[in-house]
Structure 1
Amino acid sequence: MTRVISQIAAATVALFISGSYLPSKQDAPAPDKITGSRVSVYNLQTDTVDVIYRDNKLIEAPNWSPDGKRLLVNTGGELYTLPMESAKPKVLTPVSITNMSHCNNDKGYSPDGTLIAFSASNNAAGSQIFTVAAEGGVPKRIVAETPSYFHAFSPDGQWMAFVAKRQGENFNLFRVPTAGGKQQQLTFKNAYDDGPDYSPDGQWIYFNSNRSGGWDIWRIPAQGAGADDAKAEQVTNDGLEDWFPHCSPDGKHLLFLSFPHGTANHDGHTEVQLRMIPLPGAHVTFPPIHILATFFGGQGTINVNSWSPDSTKFAFVSYEH
């Protein structure tokens, strides 16, 4: 299928300058050396951005708690929370997890807010998946095989969607009961699938994949793509490389991160865009893509769902270099 560009610029195609958004075009990125992180909140009602926390450390992948009171982030192989209420200045609070280190940026709260699922290599040869009480404590290992990376809970909290490499060099989508148990492989294509996130009604899993040649957003039924991934549907098809789709809780929006054309993967940092389309219904229609913001980001910007519970805002991280 021909890859075409179809975009509508929103009011704030912009770049962070001194903590605020000003219209600009970013120069070509410098070498991937991060000197600071900015955790920000985009308000859809006002098309404005508020930088809520700055740090010279690498902060990654905010996930909003179901009660709206905090963000879950990671830095230095540990998990932290960041208050979203009146606390100023905001301070990171560690989530104390017994005998655990080397947490990566793939983590999130369960829908009822009682659990945190997270990925960590700890003493293993690669990333495994664990759960722990939201306030911390002794973790429970859910997926021991490596590498495995958590990405999302199902809306009813019964399943966790994750990506894993089991045979060959490609990552596929899987799910596993939140309480632990048998893993179910959901995609089988000889491609690289990543970033699974459930639709609010639990019917679909959205993800990014290079199965069409470039990186695009796709979806499959939550129970799996079927034989030869016949039930997989392409959702975006344009000139940029699209990663990490996240459905708003009200079912209206699909947010994702876009890298420049030809970017091979998501591991680095460059000029990126946060873009959005209406969440597809029963049929995919390829609507115009709205550009919300342009800035220096990439790995760690929105690896996991970062929508506020009321769907009016989302959190993301940009980087200084």
Structure 2
Amino acid sequence: MKSIRWSFMLLSGLSLLLIFATAGLVAQNPFQSGTKYRTHFVIYNVQKKTTTPLFTIEGEWHAPNWTSDRKYVVSDMGGSIYRIPMSGTNIGKPEKIYGDPKVLLTNDHALSWDSKQIAVSGITLPLPKNMRSAADIHNPILIMNLDGSTLHEVHLGWLHGWSPDSKYLVYTGIVDNNADIYRIGSDGSGELRMTTNKAEDDGPEYSADGKWVYFCSKRSSKWDAWRMPADGAGPDDNLAEKITNSGDTQDWFPHISPDGKWLYTISYPMDHPDHSYIGEGMKIKMLRLENGVGAKGAELTTVRTFFGGQGAGNTGGWSPDSKRFVWTEYEKITEQAK
């Protein structure tokens, strides 16, 4: 299995960047790389249609996942993963769950629906001395308890979601130069290739009823949200169904609410078709759903424009009651001399 998301493209300088740039999909770098950021955790209230700052932390924090008890968000920074209280005297004070200098944890992490476990993609360090391509990288999918215990590897790939019954994980992988969606048992058994289209696919997540997997794809010439049955897209992907169709942004990482009534995306300017970009013009967009697809007359609508990148929320940030969701925005602090 070859990886397609290079979460550390600046890790070893320009030569590594040139190797990874050919992959097409470049994930946000969890290492601080010349620019320092302050991170604002932000919440959108679906009913009130309001955006509220939650707290601010120094550093570049990624992909907050809301725990089922509503007490914490789980987020990564600098290759480690943390839980952060959302209220009380310790609000906004990170508590490390797991960190290991030999394993870089990426922003591809997700909680099981009961929040008892975390699945996350990592990168084993050091990198191979004679690395010729990304195929030489060991990028394990790891599972641990919420306190960081029982960490173990189950497969390779870029993790994005759990099935509601915790039996399966869905992730992005590449075979024969084709980026596709895969499913694996949470015990590491029974790999299933779910898509076969030659266009790039990414960001798979389950609906709460376990019947559908939502993902983003470039198969319609730009990135849009799609869905397919939980057993795969079928022959020639004929069961894949397009969900969004905006003309002004590249729409990545569809996150469907637990009640199935809403979907939001992390959307990029049209001139940034990969997701290595960090900058102005990022958008949070929402779509009202009926029966899992866009409601009659509903359109993918911008609710927030901000400075950020795909680390803002490449995995889902919905609250358990579907009333709110959380993501991160960045504030540039300093430009370090090269």
TM over 0.5: yes
The aligned amino acid for 2:309 is G
Task: Tell me the residue number matched to 1:139.
Answer: 151
Q: Which consecutive residues of structure 2, in runs of 5 or more, have no partner in the other structure?
A: 1-33, 128-136, 333-338
2:138 aligned with 1:129: no
Letter in 1 for 2:189: G
Residue 217 of structure 2: aligned partner? 209
Preserved contact between residue 98 and residue 137 of structure 1 (Cα < 8 Å): no
Task: State how far apart, in whole Å, the 2-side matches of 1:238 and 1:279 are.
Answer: 15
Match of 1:184 among 188, 192, 196: 192
AA matched with 1:201: D
Partner of 2:326: 315
Q: Does 1:257 align with 2:228?
A: no
Q: Which whole-Å deviations, capped at 9, do the CAs of 1:34-53 have from their partners, x for residues lacking one?
A: 52211111122322222222
Secondary structure at 2:89 match in 1: coil
What does the per-residue CA deviation read over 1:196-247, in whole Å, with 9 as the maximum and x for residues that have no partner? 1111111111111111101111111110001111111111112111001001
Are the structure 2 counterparts of residues 100 and 153 from structure 1 closer, same or farther at C-alpha, using a change threshold of 3 Å? farther
Q: CA deviation at 1:313?
A: 0.8
Q: Note the 1:78-117 alignment, pairs <5 A.
A: 78-96=80-98, 101-117=103-119
Which shifted more, 39-48 or 268-277?
39-48
Matched, 1:301 2:315: no
Hey, what's the Cα distance between the residues in 1 that align with 2:39 and 2:293? 38
Number of aligned positions between the proteins:
287
Provide the residue aligned with 1:243 in structure 2. Answer: 252
The two structures, once aligned, show a CA RMSD in angstroms of 2.0
Distance 2:290 2:276 in 1: 28
Contact 2:57–2:92, Cα closer than 8 Å, also in 1: no
Task: Report if the CA contact (8 A) 1:80-1:94 is conserved.
Answer: yes
- For the Cα contact (< 8 Å) 1:157–1:178, is it kept in 2? yes
Write the deviation string for residues 290-320 of structure 1: whole angstroms up to 9, x where unpaired: 2211111122111101000111110100111
The superposition leaves residues 168-214 of structure 1 with CA deviations (integer Å, 9 ceiling, x where unpaired) of 1x310001111221211000111110111111111111111111101
- Greater fraction of residues in helix: 2
- Offset at residue 87 of structure 1 (A): 3.0
Q: Deviation digits for residues 232-278 of structure 1, max 9, x if unmatched?
A: 11111121110010011111101111111132211221311111112
Amino acid at match of 2:154: I
Letter aligned with residue 295 of structure 1: F
Displacement after TM superposition at 1:89 (Å): 4.5
Give how far 1:83 is off.
0.6
In structure 2, the residue matched to 1:276 is 286
User: Which deviates more, 97-106 or 186-195?
Assistant: 97-106
Judged with a 3 Å threshold, the aligned counterparts in structure 2 of structure 1 residues 181 and 97 are, in CA distance, closer, same or farther, namely farther
The corresponding residue for 2:74 is 72
Contact kept, 8 Å, 1:243 with 1:257, in 2: the verdict is yes
CA distance in structure 1 between the aligned counterparts of 2:58 and 2:93, rounded to whole angstroms: 13
CA contact (8 A) 1:275 1:292 kept: yes
In structure 2, what residue type is equivalent to 1:268?
Y
TM superposition shift of 1:60: 0.3
Letter in 2 for 1:177: G
Q: CA deviation at 1:287?
A: 2.7
Query: CA separation in 2, counterparts of 1:206 and 1:164?
Result: 16
Per-residue deviation, 1:286: 7.0
1:88 is displaced (CA, Å) by 4.5
Deviates more, 1:49-58 or 1:174-183: 49-58
**What is the alpha-carbon distance in structure 1 between the residues aligned to residue 37 and residue 117 of structure 2?**
32
Question: 1:194 aligns to what SS in structure 2?
Answer: strand
The answer as to whether partners of 2:246 and 2:300 remain within 8 angstroms in 1 is: no
Q: Distance in 2 between matches of 1:102 and 1:312?
A: 33
1:214–1:98: structure 2 CA closer, same or farther, 3 Å change rule?
Answer: closer
Deviates more, 1:126-135 or 1:90-99: 90-99
**Paired amino acid for 1:317:** T
Q: What CA deviation, in whole Å up to 9, does each residue of 1:51-80 have, x standing for no partner?
A: 222223110000011111111000000000
Q: Which moved more, 1:42-51 or 1:205-214?
A: 42-51
